[in-house]
Structure 1
Amino acid sequence: MKKRSKIILGFIVILFVLVLAIIGGNLFIENKIEVALEESLEKAEFEYENLNASILGRSASLSKAVFKKNGIQIYAEEIELDGIDILAYLSNKKIQISSLKLIKPEVTIYTEAQKEKKKDSSKNGDSTKLDLLIKSVEVANASFKMAKNDSVKNQLFASIPSLNMQDVSADKESLKNGFPFNYEQLQMASDSLFFNLNTQHDLFVGNIKMDSGSLTFSKINIKPLYGKQEFQQHIPYEKDRFDLSIEKLVLNSFSWNLKNDSLSLLSEKVKIANGDIKIYRDKRVKDDTRQKPMYSKMIRELPIKLKLDTIKVKDLAIQYEELIKAKRGAGKVTFKNLDASIYNITNMGISKKDFPRTDIDVQTQFMGEANLNVNWNFDISNRADVFTISGQMDRISSEGINEFLKPALNVKSEGGIRDMRFNFTGNSQRSTGDMKLIYDDFKVEVLQEDGEEKNKFLSALANLIVNNEATSAEKEQKNIKTQRTQTKSFWNYLWKNIRNGALKSFI
């Protein structure tokens, strides 16, 4: 055989062996991946349509993969892995991957099955061994939903067009935490979110964006499931019916952590802009006699750890309606163009000596005409729930006052208030303070039950009691004492303080 022919034949043999080695290697790698999947997902249902692996490209892909375990179901149209460190896995079972891409994953969690899983896991310890590092994770066109089971309405649904993470790692220690892996960077965009808050309200969010330490929510809506009248048929006692919309909520310098089932949320600056909140309460429904905590206690005892350094509220509108008798309609209180600065909302480091005081400054327009400024502070770490609240309101007409007084208390006023200033200090039990009131020819009329016609006898009696010595009176009251009703909210407490001061001024 000629030398040239021998070289060609040798080349063909080497090429043939190399091809066989590559094919064999690919088959070997595919087999190893299959074995690894079977070992890792021993107690789960896992199916896929195709598995392809390339030893030269150090890549693998799965198509139409379905994972089911303990009420968790994950489907992915395509799973692509690139830059697989084959030697690291073969030598010490370390999983190191340059990039993982999930295309159209659909994640579903059934909470009833999850409860059963917790019961089982308390009996059987988890001996999972894992050492995983993925440099880059990309998720495209994902969806996430949560429900009690597959035959009821979703409790939660989110559409996530894109999600990217860098340096994702997991090991035996991370699996013990509520969040089973760690990451260095996270970018995420959602174009819709739905959450069933309770049996009376749903939450909708138009867009969510998380990027470079900021988290932005756009077009937030809380919608009642029933109209004002039907709502009362679905509550066991007095409850507020909320109809809320907020254009934007932004958390800057945002971070979060989930460790040992404890969630922590931190942000240096929160912005809330362009909101409209409507609250309706029917007082004809039986009272909720449970004790109501002060806001400081509510924050202190939150099930999550919270640290919000500064919250800025811009252009908020609040309307509160209260129905006492159907014939008179609902009394209404409104706050428009509300701006607020809130500092130090936190329940972290409660035992520190230098624990920061919470300060709240509010500027708003009361009943569409009176400028109202309020300064409020409290110490979340203080178990007595000590607080101080002061405010100043300028001129308000009788028409503005009567929007609430007439339907709620069956009383109609004449004249108006030119200026009101108050300052109260208290705790969860009682408060004291002072109040200054300047009013013009203030008179009251007690109405008949229909809320329209004047009750002349009671009106005359009321005006004998009300002190109207001058058309323009200035009254300053000291040592106004108020006992808090423990089954009522802080706002009822504040109202009682102001009411007691007003009564001392008028009588």
Structure 2
Amino acid sequence: MKKAWVKKLLIGLGIFFGLILIANFAINIWLKTQLPDYIKKNTDYQVSYKSLGVDLGTGNIFATGITVNNKNPQNVNIMGFQGTIDTLKVSRFGIYDAIFNKTISSSDLLLVKPNLNIVLAKPKDKKTDKKTNPISFENIRISNGTIQVFKYTKQKLLSVNDLDLIVENLQLNEETVENKLPVTFDQYSIKGKDIFFQPDDIYNLKIAKITTANGQVSIDQFQLAPIIEFEDFKKSYPKKKQLISASIQKIDFTDVVLKDNKVSLSNATFQNPNILIYTTNAIPDAVKKPVNFELNLDDFRLNNAVIQVNKANGNKMLFAKDVNLNIKNIEFSKEISAEMIPLRYKDFNFSGKDIQFSNHQDMKFGSVVLSPKKGDIRNISVIPNHSGSGKTTMNLKASQIAFNINKWEIVDKKLNLDVKDVLVNQVDGTITAGTIKSNKKSDFNGIQFPILVRNVTLKNSNLTYDSKNQPLQFKDLNATIKDIELTEKPKSGGLAVKVKDYNLTAKNFAYKTKFYNMTVGALAFDKNKIKLEKFDMKPLVSRAQFIRMIPVESDLYDLKANQVTAVGNWDLFSENKFLHATNMTISSANANIFRSKIPADDPKEKLLYSRLLRTIKIPMFIDLLQLKNSVLEYEEDTPKSSGPGKLTFTNFNMNVKNLNSAKMKGRPTQVDIKIDCTFMKTSLLSVNWGFNTADQSDRFSIAGKLNNIPAVALNAFVVPYMSVTATGTIQEMLFDFKGNPKGIGGTFKIKHKDLKVSILDKESKEKKGVLSAVVNIFVKSDSGKFPESVVVEDVERDPTKSFFNLFWKGIEDGLKKTLIGINVDKAKKTVEKTKESVKEVKSTVKEVKSSVKEAEKDISKAVSTPKKETEKPKEKKGLLKKIFYKKEKTETQ
């Protein structure tokens, strides 16, 4: 029984395989004789071949001498084929799917010497057409092929000669499949010549030769060239931002892997690339969907490149030659693309020469070398090109900018930066501040704060910072700044700066303003000491020019100081600025202050010094401010004065204790000022002045003593204003005033000797002899040993005038009451009375003269009359005696 069953089974299998062999033989006969006619009748193609073999069991197809053509070449709705294939071999062909599902699938496809022109069908409506993959081959081999692919418009899309291609495990994915590349494969090998590809109406791509050996791909003479002029490109594609032209002598890479949505590539080298990019002013449409693929490059090299980027107007934006770039382990993904730097890498090295960059400035760099750890930039030039009106610009040259970096990394999608040191060497030029302020809030979302810069060094530089045509100039500038910390201001969105230590030195420091040129022979500045030598502030205009240039009255200064020093502790960079100097000294200063009363009065309120100090925004405290061995001159003229009045203070020494802004906690706010000097080069002056900056009522006190003043010393100042001169000596002047923003008052006393006063005409300044003589009748030439004090009161302050104007008004009121003013008033009243008496006398004399004339007539008549008639005239002689006696008396009076 068992043998019978086995026998039957073997017979059945034999019959089955026999039938298959018969069917296979029959199909092969049919394919050889009838398939061309079948294809011609039932398809859009005409196919012929020399031989054809089909194995139904394995699905293998082998054909030779194939020729294929379209029956209707004008039909654009189907794919067109025209050409020959020397040998076609298909392994494991899906015959059932080809017959019933109209899809072609195979594990292997071999084409030997294909010479094909392929015309793609006209694209169908994506909304209505279902996405399918009608052709699928796992492995493709092409040997010695010549292939040209055209669009349905007969425009060439792709062509390649001498093509040898091997692709293993090829997979084509539908566009609707997310997170997948449209083409993936495992292994590949490719050789070809004269490759042409035109993906659109903008570019074509040409490759002279492509080869693969041991997994390495080499591409010779790569060219990406626009086929449209730039002006036409801007008109035809108003939303596109760039037009690119590139030629690369050779490209090499290995280990290309395309899998799912990942692209991996190793050892990519671009030799002698020449890249030109044209940019437009277009604003592209927002990207609806971010690029969703991953890129991994183990090693990327750009050797000896020339790169140029043009602006929309054709001018260069960027140019660089001899560019070399090597980046290791590049990573790109959807997540990384959202970071501040949209690439991750392990290491990079960049170098280039003759680099130019232009925005609103033309910048040139002789050479640039960069890596994640350091950088070196040489021969830098920055020149404004007048295309950025209102922006901050630089016109300078620098020998070198170099830096070393401790840390440069991305942490939680933010840049973490720690700079070890920065060197800036031999900078020479000008930085001009812009006039346009941006209202746009800075975006620092991609930065992890704080940013640290451990050390910055500026060497041997000559820099000018010009703001509003007021240049600040440093020559022989050397500076060191240590431990800079940058943080974001939470409210304003700007950057806050903290500096641990710094040091700055310069020679021939200068600052020019509208009216002054300030210079310093040498400057040294750090966080604990300031030293200025040979300070000079000279007016740039004459006094007459200054008067014509100012709309309202103002002071014109001419200042010098041999040395200015300060020691202490201060922070002028961070958000919490402060200044605390334990000692500040100004040595051998010479100050001339000129004010003209010819311009209109300044209607603005002039703050007293206590309030003025409170306006300083930062905590400021100077334990002791000393002004040593100095000269102070104050000159003032009026429209009616003949030349300016002048006050001179020589041997000027001043000590100021606790100079402050009332903002430093734990520090006293009472300011005490002690002044000792020589007044008008002849007299010793001592002043004690005090106020409290925390006192909102701004009260002050000022008291002093002036000794041995020759009265003529005051003439230079009192003549232009009081039209009075004096001689003699004021042995002592004492004043003790208290005041506030409303006025000043107190006591005033002078001791004088041999004092005489002359009154001058206000217009001609000629001496009024009679009035001066009368005044001196009332002036007590000697005051005695113990003169009495007078009370100065009700002296109101003009809020538009300075503190010193108020102080002078107090002195002036005291002088009037003690020396000049009252006596002049008395003299004027006496002269007025005298003038009235003289008028009466003159009237009496006139009457007398009239009586004399009448008497003379009577006498004349008496002489011509006979003696008998002369008795009465004898009586008249007694009357004449009386008349002449009265006349003589009157004249004497």
TM-score, normalized by length of structure 2?
Answer: 0.48
Alignment correspondent of 1:349: 663
Any conservation in 2 of the 1:328–1:450 contact (CA below 8 Å)? no
1:146 to 446, 465, 487: 465
Letter in 2 for 1:363: D
Change (3 A) 1:221 1:473: same
Instruction: Return the alpha-carbon distance in structure 2 between the equivalents of residues 43 and 237 of structure 1.
Output: 43
Shift of 1:253: 1.2
Letter in 2 for 1:247: N
Alignment correspondent of 2:536: 221
Instruction: Return the alpha-carbon distance in structure 1 between the equivalents of residues 648 and 688 of structure 2.
Output: 18
2:595 to 266, 271, 281: 281
Shift of 1:164: 1.2
Alignment correspondent of 1:210: 525
Alignment correspondent of 2:367: 50
The 5 A counterparts of 1:32-47 are: 32=348
Any conservation in 2 of the 1:110–1:146 contact (CA below 8 Å)? yes
Any conservation in 2 of the 1:48–1:62 contact (CA below 8 Å)? yes
Alignment correspondent of 2:327: 28
Alignment correspondent of 1:484: 797
2:452 to 133, 143, 146: 133
Structure 2 gap ranges (5+): 1-266, 268-297, 303-323, 329-344, 352-356, 823-893
Alignment correspondent of 1:156: 472
TM-score, normalized by length of structure 1?
Answer: 0.81
Letter in 2 for 1:129: I
Alignment correspondent of 2:406: 85
1:444 to 757, 760, 767: 757
- Among all aligned residue pairs of Structure 1 and Structure 2, give the percentage whose two residues are the same amino acid: 22
Any conservation in 1 of the 2:489–2:495 contact (CA below 8 Å)? no
Letter in 2 for 1:489: S
Structure 2 residue 778 is the aligned partner of structure 1 residue 475: no
Please state whether the residue corresponding to 1:432 is helix, strand or coil: strand
Please state whether the residue corresponding to 1:329 is helix, strand or coil: coil
Alignment correspondent of 2:392: 71
Instruction: Return the alpha-carbon distance in structure 2 between the equivalents of residues 162 and 498 of structure 1.
Output: 50
Deviations for 1:46-88, whole angstroms, at most 9, x for unmatched residues? 7633222478xx5431123467994153753211224x336x5
Structure 2 residue 713 is the aligned partner of structure 1 residue 380: no
Any conservation in 2 of the 1:283–1:322 contact (CA below 8 Å)? yes
Structure 2 residue 657 is the aligned partner of structure 1 residue 333: no
Change (3 A) 1:237 1:96: closer
Deviations for 1:276-320, whole angstroms, at most 9, x for unmatched residues? 011222223332233221111111113554222210110110111
Shift of 1:342: 0.3
Change (3 A) 1:453 1:334: same
Letter in 2 for 1:51: V
Any conservation in 1 of the 2:624–2:657 contact (CA below 8 Å)? yes
Change (3 A) 1:285 1:465: farther
Change (3 A) 1:181 1:76: farther
Alignment correspondent of 2:552: 237
Letter in 1 for 2:675: V
Alignment correspondent of 2:563: 248
Greater shift after overlay, 315-324 or 382-391?
A: 315-324
Shift of 1:27: 2.8
Alignment correspondent of 2:121: none
Shift of 1:161: 2.6
Any conservation in 2 of the 1:441–1:471 contact (CA below 8 Å)? no
Alignment correspondent of 1:13: none
Instruction: Return the alpha-carbon distance in structure 2 between the equivalents of residues 146 and 90 of structure 1.
Output: 35
Change (3 A) 1:126 1:53: closer
Shift of 1:239: 1.8
Please state whether the residue corresponding to 1:253 is helix, strand or coil: strand
1:167 to 465, 477, 483: 483
Alignment correspondent of 2:416: 94
Alignment correspondent of 1:12: none
Letter in 2 for 1:146: Y
Shift of 1:359: 0.5
Instruction: Return the alpha-carbon distance in structure 1 between the equivalents of residues 570 and 702 of structure 2.
Output: 32
Letter in 2 for 1:253: G
Please state whether the residue corresponding to 1:208 is helix, strand or coil: strand
Instruction: Return the alpha-carbon distance in structure 1 between the equivalents of residues 534 and 438 of structure 2.
Output: 39
Instruction: Return the alpha-carbon distance in structure 1 between the equivalents of residues 422 and 780 of structure 2.
Output: 78
Any conservation in 1 of the 2:753–2:782 contact (CA below 8 Å)? no
Letter in 2 for 1:71: T
Instruction: Return the alpha-carbon distance in structure 1 between the equivalents of residues 549 and 646 of structure 2.
Output: 23
Alignment correspondent of 2:317: none
2:620 to 296, 306, 310: 306
Instruction: Return the alpha-carbon distance in structure 1 between the equivalents of residues 809 and 371 of structure 2.
Output: 75
Shift of 1:428: 0.8
Greater shift after overlay, 250-259 or 375-384?
A: 250-259
Change (3 A) 1:337 1:129: same
Alignment correspondent of 1:10: none
The 5 A counterparts of 1:407-418 are: 407-418=720-731
Shift of 1:448: 3.1
Letter in 1 for 2:421: S
Any conservation in 1 of the 2:751–2:784 contact (CA below 8 Å)? no
Instruction: Return the alpha-carbon distance in structure 2 between the equivalents of residues 442 and 178 of structure 1.
Output: 69
Structure 1 gap ranges (5+): 1-16, 36-40
Shift of 1:331: 1.9
Any conservation in 2 of the 1:481–1:497 contact (CA below 8 Å)? no
Deviations for 1:465-506, whole angstroms, at most 9, x for unmatched residues? 545576767231246442112221111111111222222223
Letter in 1 for 2:795: T
Shift of 1:264: 3.5
Any conservation in 2 of the 1:390–1:423 contact (CA below 8 Å)? yes
Tell which structure's C-alpha radius of gyration is larger. Answer: 2
Letter in 2 for 1:49: G
Change (3 A) 1:337 1:160: same
Alignment correspondent of 2:679: 366
Alignment correspondent of 1:4: none
Please state whether the residue corresponding to 1:99 is helix, strand or coil: strand
Greater shift after overlay, 357-366 or 431-440?
A: 431-440
Instruction: Return the alpha-carbon distance in structure 2 between the equivalents of residues 416 and 487 of structure 1.
Output: 35
Shift of 1:397: 0.9
How many residues get paired? 470
Please state whether the residue corresponding to 1:395 is helix, strand or coil: strand
Shift of 1:33: 7.1
Any conservation in 2 of the 1:26–1:54 contact (CA below 8 Å)? no
Any conservation in 1 of the 2:618–2:663 contact (CA below 8 Å)? no
Instruction: Return the alpha-carbon distance in structure 2 between the equivalents of residues 51 and 363 of structure 1.
Output: 62
Change (3 A) 1:211 1:110: closer
Shift of 1:447: 1.7
Change (3 A) 1:128 1:175: farther
Change (3 A) 1:110 1:121: farther
Any conservation in 1 of the 2:565–2:586 contact (CA below 8 Å)? yes
Any conservation in 1 of the 2:497–2:574 contact (CA below 8 Å)? no
Please state whether the residue corresponding to 1:453 is helix, strand or coil: coil
Shift of 1:334: 0.3
Instruction: Return the alpha-carbon distance in structure 2 between the equivalents of residues 341 and 384 of structure 1.
Output: 24
Shift of 1:433: 0.8
Any conservation in 2 of the 1:412–1:447 contact (CA below 8 Å)? yes
Instruction: Return the alpha-carbon distance in structure 1 between the equivalents of residues 689 and 811 of structure 2.
Output: 15
Change (3 A) 1:405 1:171: closer
Instruction: Return the alpha-carbon distance in structure 2 between the equivalents of residues 212 and 354 of structure 1.
Output: 20
1 or 2 for the larger relative contact order (CA 8 Å, sep ≥6)? 1
- The RMSD of aligned alpha carbons is 3.6
